[in-house]
Structure 1
Amino acid sequence: MNKRIKLILGGALLVVAFTVFIFSYGNSSTNASQASDKEIESILRSFFKSIDDKNVDNMIDNTIDIRFSDDEVRKTEYNELLSTDKVKLKDIVSIKKIDDNNYIVTANINTKDNGDIINEFPVTLDEEKWKVIIGQDYIPNN
């Protein structure tokens, strides 16, 4: 082989190796943020287990509650809510992927005050941890 063909083949091999590296790296970092429906379902079930167990610290760690900005206030409010109302997850109706970092879980829940209701629970990737967003249907008293 002459020198020119060796240079072209060497350059092509370098481009292929670089392309494989980029796609492998891109896919591995993307997969870290993607979740299966089973994983998303498990996150919501874990949240409701925290409610059943009255584990307020776990509830705080695994949720984003848009009603409160302070975890101490959340803790007080959650303890009060858990003492006055019972909330049970009956079943998961559907899981809709919005994008790689956001899902909407529609669930049938039962509350002491409202009975059976269908509610949507956004689930989002927050600093490499999946969390349930709660309080989105809250309407403050004026």
Structure 2
Amino acid sequence: MGFPGAPCQHAHVAFSVGRREGLHSVEDFQAVPFDMELVNLDGTFHLATGRFRCKVPGIYFLSLHVHTWNFKEAYLHIMLDQRPMAVLYAQPSERSLMQAQSLMLPLAASSTVWVRMFHRDQDSAIHGEPGDLYITFSGHLVKPASEL
């Protein structure tokens, strides 16, 4: 029997942010900034830029929830660095709806994930109100690369 080893190190990474104000697209592509921090372990999510910078490489679960605006298109991408990885889309409609998109991605150290709004031939918009939280973006580490 040898000497005891170092205790197991468990990486805990998670963020959950929200936006209370609605947002209309103003250019072809724009990052969605957030204004409410619900969870931000180690401060890895920057609200003003809307970006999470990965410090612990591994497999992450990400989810985006938005409320669409009546008669407006909602066209957003969940981005990994500069690549769109998933689309959240809703056609213009008389009714506003909650929409969601989620996925799992392998992230390397220094990778960034963020949400961008895409403006095509018509205005893209997501609904929000100052007193309520309709727009959320969350992520957490499922398994660190060191355990893969």
User: TM-score by structure 2 length?
Assistant: 0.27
For CA contacts below 8 A with separation 6 or more, give which structure has more relative contact order.
Answer: 2
Greater share of strand residues, 1 or 2? Answer: 2
Report the structure number with the largest CA radius of gyration. Answer: 1
User: TM-score by structure 1 length?
Assistant: 0.28
Greater share of helix residues, 1 or 2? Answer: 1
